[in-house]
């Protein structure tokens, strides 16, 4: 029996095999799943049973991990700017590693989590990613150096360096230059007697959507080579993958709620739009499409403008998408590779509930 729409169906065995593939391609790396991508307890448990650690962005995420028995001591709190109360409560729960990229954040951490270990977020080239992440966060190598010295003066442990090459990064070169920047920082700190204990490669590992992505094995080779060339070998080489682990495991199913012709445009109104899971397409100026198919396959295709069910014009997320011309109310549109950053962004706007989650596999 098909589940009721709208729903996201995630195959947990595929999440497990993606984890295995990642660890196979990057054998020296410890994986900390970036749970913001899809924090469903079923997914957290599946990854935990494979040996994954977790990266959090807030206290709420930590609480979700604690609810399934994860030890906070194994968690990385990488959000570079955190609400003070979250720092305090996370430290009280046992989190001891915090990301930062500014003197103000170091001051907060030293006051609310005295003696904690800190890792600095570098701003790196994210231009080859689809979802850049260095606009809001990150600092250059020189400032990172001064931040880690300041951390030491504040009684914190200068622990590591991190970066994010941007989500859905499709160039292996991005990791090469980012790891080299981390190496430069490590070299500079050596002169002050500081050896970093962690290099955290962040996320960005790409999934396949309509177009393919560079194979993870190719990315793994570049990373392995660059790690060998670091000034010394830190105890922990971490990565915080999100999208790579869960995107391809999910299919989002949404029924057609209406059709209209407006001028020469065919509008298709679906149970999901920008406010119910399709937020990522809005972030890409040229549009972003998931692989799509429908419950009414046909060769007679029409270009559609796709939108959600709410009364807001901003709920329009794709233009010129070719789908069967015979689609009608009640037919279902399927979005493949939809396991990442769909439900995380879904709201109940206009009292349309977000899609439910269904899990298959084990």
Residues 227 and 29: their CA atoms lie apart, in Å, by: 10
Torsional class of 283: left (φ above 0), alpha (ψ -120 to 50), beta (otherwise): alpha
Output 55 or 105, the one with its CB closest to ligand PLP.
55
Output 152 or 344, the one with its CB closest to ligand PLP.
344
Catalytic residue, candidates 7, 37, 307, 311: 311
Question: Are 242 and 36 in contact, with CB atoms under 8 Å apart?
Answer: yes
Output 32 or 317, the one with its CB closest to ligand PLP.
32
Chain contacts with ligand PLP (rule: CB under 6 A): 34, 36-37, 55, 78, 133, 164, 167, 202-205, 240-244
CB of residue 104 to ligand PLP, shortest distance in Å: 18
Question: Are 47 and 41 in contact, with CB atoms under 8 Å apart?
Answer: no
CB of residue 31 to ligand PLP, shortest distance in Å: 11
Contacts of 126 (CB under 8 A, 6+ apart): 132, 133, 134, 164, 165, 166, 169, 174, 204
Which among 225, 202, 206 is positioned nearest to 214, based on CA atoms? Answer: 206
Tell me the residue nearest to ligand PLP as measured from the CB. 203
Output 206 or 308, the one with its CB closest to ligand PLP.
206
Specify the DSSP class assigned to residue 139. Answer: B
Output 202 or 354, the one with its CB closest to ligand PLP.
202
Residues 252 and 88: their CA atoms lie apart, in Å, by: 37
Residues 227 and 248: their CA atoms lie apart, in Å, by: 28
Residues 275 and 298: their CA atoms lie apart, in Å, by: 29
Output 216 or 327, the one with its CB closest to ligand PLP.
216
Angle (CA) 319-313-129 rounded to 5° is: 50
Strands 157-162 and 129-131: unpaired
Active site residue 307: no
Q: How would DSSP label each residue in 82-131?
A: --HHHHHHHHHHT--EEEE-SHHHHHHHHHHSTT-EEEEEBP---TTEEE
- The catalytic residues are 311
């Amino acid at each position: 029996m098909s589940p009721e729409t709208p729903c996201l169906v995630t195959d947990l065995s595929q999440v497990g095999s993606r984890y295995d593939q990642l660890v196979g391609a990057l054998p020296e790396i410890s994986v900390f799943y970036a749970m913001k991508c899809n924090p469903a307890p079923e997914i957290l448990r599946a990854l935990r049973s494979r040996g994954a650690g977790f990266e959090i962005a807030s206290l709420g995420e930590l609480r979700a991990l604690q609810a399934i028995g994860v030890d906070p001591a194994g968690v990385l709190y990488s959000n570079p700017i955190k609400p003070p109360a979250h720092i305090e409560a996370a430290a009280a729960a046992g989190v001891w590693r915090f990301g930062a990229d500014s003197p103000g954040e170091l001051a907060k951490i030293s006051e609310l989590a005295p003696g904690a270990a800190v890792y600095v977020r570098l701003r790196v080239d994210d231009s080859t990613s689809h979802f850049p992440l260095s606009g809001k966060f990150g600092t250059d190598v020189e400032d990172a150096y001064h931040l880690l010295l300041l951390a030491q003066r504040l009684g914190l442990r200068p622990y590591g360096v991190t970066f994010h090459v941007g989500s859905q990064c499709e160039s292996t070169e991005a990791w090469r230059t980012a790891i080299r920047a981390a190496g430069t920082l490590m070299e500079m700190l050596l002169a002050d007697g500081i050896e970093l204990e962690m290099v955290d490669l962040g996320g960005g590992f790409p999934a396949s959507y309509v177009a393919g992505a560079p194979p993870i094995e190719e990315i793994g080779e570049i990373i392995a080579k660059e790690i060998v060339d670091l000034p010394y070998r830190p105890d922990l080489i971490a990565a915080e993958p999100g999208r790579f682990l869960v995107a391809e495991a999910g299919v989002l199913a949404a029924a057609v709620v209406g059709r209209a012709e407006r001028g020469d445009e065919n509008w298709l109104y679906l149970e999901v739009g920008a406010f119910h899971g399709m937020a990522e397409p809005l972030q890409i100026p040229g549009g972003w499409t998931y692989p799509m198919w429908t419950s009414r396959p046909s060769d007679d295709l029409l270009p559609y403008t796709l939108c959600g069910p709410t009364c807001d014009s901003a709920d329009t997320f794709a233009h010129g998408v070719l789908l069967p011309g015979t689609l009608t109310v009640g037919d279902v549109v399927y979005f493949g590779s939809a396991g990442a950053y769909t439900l995380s962004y879904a709201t109940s706007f206009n009292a349309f509930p977000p899609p439910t989650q269904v899990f298959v596999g084990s």
